[in-house]
Structure formats: C-alpha cells, structure tokens
Chains A and B, each alone.
Chain A
Amino acid sequence: NAGVTQTPKFRILKIGQSMTLQCTQDMNHNYMYWYRQDPGMGLKLIYYSVGAGITDKGEVPNGYNVSRSTTEDFPLRLELAAPSQTSVYFCATSFWTSTQTGNTIYFGEGSWLTVV
C-alpha cells in the first residue's frame, strides 16, 4: 500500500516549457487535490476532483490544467512555465461522501519545481 505517490520529486524548468506532475493513489479515495505552497506560505488549492471525470477549480487555477480519467490518477499540467510557478506542489486525497464526511487527508511527499 503506497498511499499517494508523486513524481517527479524535483524538477527545473525553463520559462515557457511544459511539464506534467504525476499523482497516483491506491486507497480508492474519490477526492483528489493539487496544492501549491510557496516558501514560508500556506497551501493554496489549484484544482480538485470529486471523482473520475469531474474536476473543479480551486483558488489559484491559472496556468494549470488537470484531468481525472481514473480513480487512481490525477495529473497536473503546466503548459507555459513562468517563474511565478516556482513552488512546492502537493497532491492529496481523501474519501468523502454525503454520509461519510471528514476523513483523513493523505498527502504525497511533494514536488519541488523551479522555473528559471
């Protein structure tokens, strides 16, 4: 049982390049999230998904795209990297239904991204 797996752990991108951060979970959680955390700051929600085929924007979605074709995978795409996207990215999962709310949120180890 690996939990939440994020790749890559570290990446340096040049301005204008594109890349995908991968997130996979094996806990059969329906909710998945992408957060970014700038140095010394809190976690800001980029996108989240309530299940396969359904995604929604969070607080800071500009410059990112997501897809959720399966329960297990929730990749985050950066199309045209900008220095402002230098951050640590965390994928997280949880199980949430109308009758079963408030379950533990599990985080991946994080992906350190630098755009130069």
Chain B
Amino acid sequence: GENVEQHPSTLSVQEGDSAVIKCTYSDSASNYFPWYKQELGKRPQLIIDIRSNVGEKKDQRIAVTLNKTAKHFSLHITETQPEDSAVYFCVGTSYGKLTFGQGTILTVHP
C-alpha cells in the first residue's frame, strides 16, 4: 500500500514568514495530491490539491509543487498569518485508498 512521509512534524514561524511542508509517497500510480488543514476540534478541510499532470498550483498565499520523478510534493504558505496556525496533512491517494501523512503542527507567532 501507499506509504506517506511528512516533514517536519512541527514548524514555528514569525508572522509574515514563509512555511514549507514536504511529503514523500511510495506508489508511483498515485495521481492526485491534496493538502488538508485541521483546526483544533474541527474536521480536516481541503486547502489545495494538485494532479499529476501539473507541476505547480497556486491559490493566493498557498501553493503546492509536485515532483513525480522524486515522488514528493510540498505545501508552500507565504506571508503567514496567525490564522494559518493549525495542523496540516498531505494525503497519498492510491486507487482511492487515502493515506494521511503524520501531520505538521504549524504555529505562526504574531
């Protein structure tokens, strides 16, 4: 099955800095790579996703990059704000079976 590794497990930044979270996956058949944000006590919410025929996708301050050869994809958040503080998960998607990364606790200090 799919193996997903996510780093770092915690990330602390100052407001306005950039944050980068990386994931590697094992199944070369995976072709869809979403990122989810989970606030305390809430369900995970999709923030951005990318398909394997695209190398980069951007949505305002959030971007995702994909390197299929190296089997890794990354989440980039620019101009971080305190409301970006949350847990972020990457997801491996092998034939519809969804495997979550271990999660990254992002803390943005004002």
Contacts and interface: CB of A to CB of B under 8 A. Distances in A.
Chain B at the A interface: mostly helix, strand, loop or mixed? strand
Interface residues of A, number: 25
A110 B43 contact: yes
Interface size grouping (class) on chain B:
20 to 34
Contacts of A33: 98
Interface stretch (A13-21, A38-46, A65-73): A38-46
A41 B43 contact: no
Interface string A46-65: 00101000001011000000
A70 to B, nearest CB: 19
A102 B49 contact: yes
A94 B103 CA distance: 21
B102 interface: yes
Given A42-B102, A43-B100, A102 B89 contact: no
Contacts of A92: 98
B96 A50 contact: yes
B44 interface: yes
A104 B102 CA distance: 20
Interface of A: 31, 33, 35, 41-45, 48, 50, 56, 58-59, 90, 92, 94, 96, 101-102, 104-105, 107-110
Given A101-B32, A101-B96, 13 more contacts: A31-B96, A42-B102, A45-B100, A48-B97, A56-B97, A58-B97, A94-B96, A104-B34, A104-B46, A105-B36, A105-B91, A109-B43, A110-B43
